[in-house]
A and B are shown apart, each in its own frame.
Chain A
Amino acid sequence: MLEEVSDPEVPVLSILDLGIVRDVVVEDEHATITITPTYSGCPAMNAIATDIRLRLLAEGFSNVTIHTQLRPAWTTDWMSAAGRQKLEDYGIAPPVDGTATGHMLNLFGADTAVRCPLCKSDNTHLVSQFGSTACKALYQCNDCREPFDYFKCHA
């Protein structure tokens, strides 16, 4: 039933697709869910915790505990293949594995090659590392000219 709880900022993704549910323990009517934030300041965390609680209470759990855990820190490696496909279909380029910023001191380093979710061209360029939410960067396609969000690889 947790796949019915979505990320309020990327509603096409469930919290399972996103990989932020780290542990689930069920004992009779008591459910304990452990979640981890994508970014420290992710303003969706409170909403997600509330949504999980309401969903489980509606399913008949009388007692719901939600823990947040920072370590190990979330990585886009935990995003499911289904989640990646849903993102692209939704118009957000999914993270390109193995392109984590690694050594950020590589200033003006080459942009990650990101596929345009609209026309599927790889001929795109980075507009800004910082996009509409903390987890996304802004790109633009050089072929169809579509500006689009890229879900940053975070490892």
Chain B
Amino acid sequence: MQSASATTQPLPTYPPEVHAALLTYLVQLADTSLVLGHRLSEWCGHGPVLEQDLALANIALDLLGETRSLYQYAAELEGEGRTEDDLAFLRPATEYRNPLLVEQPNGDFAATIVRQFLFDNFHYHVLQQLQRYPDERLAAIAGKSVKEAAYHLKWSSEWVIRLGDGTEESRQRIEKALRTLWRYADELTTPTPAEQTIQTAGLLPDYASLLPAMQAHTAHVFAEATLPLPEGVVMQQGGKLGRHSEHLGYLLAELQYMQRTYPGMTW
């Protein structure tokens, strides 16, 4: 990844604790899109039909584009000479800040759809708010990505409905995926200390304010899919604080292999 060119905006100045928290948050957002984008790219050539293979790769590409904008901003804000590539390729799993949901393996198509739906529903709604928030650069990235996230959410929502209200086989598979993945949903809307700091500083919406729209959408989709909403699930957290499942290490081993083996290589 080579940056096309410099951007024009001057960097904002914040109090030190807000600056540090914003930096952590930007890396968290970028890690999230990178890890999920990488997972989706693993489908390339293996999708159930050609059109859905293309859809998965398109969504992966959108997420990687968002990742680059976020890492570029984070690298500039950090001001220590690191680049977007350093942030993506040279940090160990314990420094990755993505929520546990997005590092979960693809599983079957139903598992990929459930993971995508849970992420898209949060991603779309948070970007919609962020594009109107006062950090100019983050608002610009959000304003760009929300248009793409809207397509993603429509796609994953329609597939939840098709699979849930489809055949006996598709329904069994999506029910199994929900049993496996629902436990990672709450981490998305549970703020970390860094997120709380920038929420207090007015740079990020309070997640509680997103929940009504997210829940309404989920309720609508699940009703159409004739699926009951999972209840009484014990939630898992930790990825946003650097405590990951074993899956992330394997993912990063593949993602970072080239730069680790041949440092600084380009092509």
Shortest beta-carbon distance, B166 to chain A, in Å?
14
Task: Tell whether A70 is near chain B: CB-to-CB under 8 Å.
Answer: yes
B24-45 contact mask (Cβ, 8 Å, vs A): 1 or 0: 0000000000000000000000
Interface check B5, CB cutoff 8 A: yes
Q: Which of A49, A68, A73, A131 contacts B147 (CB 8 A)?
A: A73
Q: Judge if A69 is at the interface, Cβ distance under 8 Å.
A: yes
Contacts of B140 in A (CB 8 A): 69-71, 73
A2–chain B nearest beta-carbon distance, Å: 16
Whole-angstrom distance between the Cβ of B127 and the nearest chain A Cβ: 11
Check A60 for interface membership: any CB of B closer than 8 A. no
With a cutoff of 8 Å between Cβ atoms, the chain B residues found around residue A39 in the complex are 61-62, 65, 148
Contact partner, B62, options A45, A131, A134, A138, Cβ 8 Å: A134
Main secondary structure on B side of the interface with A: helix
Name the A residues within 8 Å of B65 (CB-CB): 37, 39-42
Tally B residues with Cβ within 8 Å of A: 43
Residues of A in contact, count (CB < 8 Å): 34
Bound Cα distance from A49 to B153, whole angstroms: 31
Q: Is the CB of A107 within 8 A of B161?
A: yes
Q: Are A45 and B4 in contact (CB under 8 A)?
A: yes
Interface readout for A10-32 with B: 1 if CB under 8 Å, 0 if not? 00000000000000000000000
A49-B5 contact given A39-B62, A40-B62, CB 8 Å threshold: yes
- Contact assessment for A67 and B158 in the assembled complex, using a CB-CB cutoff below 8 Å: no
Which residues from 144 to 196 on chain B have a C-beta closer than 8 Å to any C-beta of chain A?
144-145, 147-148, 150-151, 153-155, 157-158, 161
Cβ-defined contact, B59 with A34, below 8 A: no
In the complex, how many angstroms separate the beta carbon of A108 from the nearest chain B beta carbon? 6
The number of A-B residue pairs with CB atoms under 8 Å apart is 109
Judged by a CB distance under 8 angstroms, whether A129 is at the interface is: yes
Q: Does A154 contact B (CB under 8 A)?
A: yes
Interface residues of B in 187-213 (CB under 8 A from A): none
Q: Is the CB of B148 within 8 A of A101?
A: no
Q: Which of A42, A129, A131, A138 has the most CB of B within 10 A?
A: A129
Task: Report the bound CA distance from A121 to B64 in whole Å.
Answer: 37
15 CB < 8 A contacts A-B: A41-B64, A41-B68, A68-B5, A68-B7, A70-B141, A70-B144, A71-B136, A104-B124, A104-B151, A104-B154, A105-B153, A107-B158, A130-B55, A130-B57, A132-B54
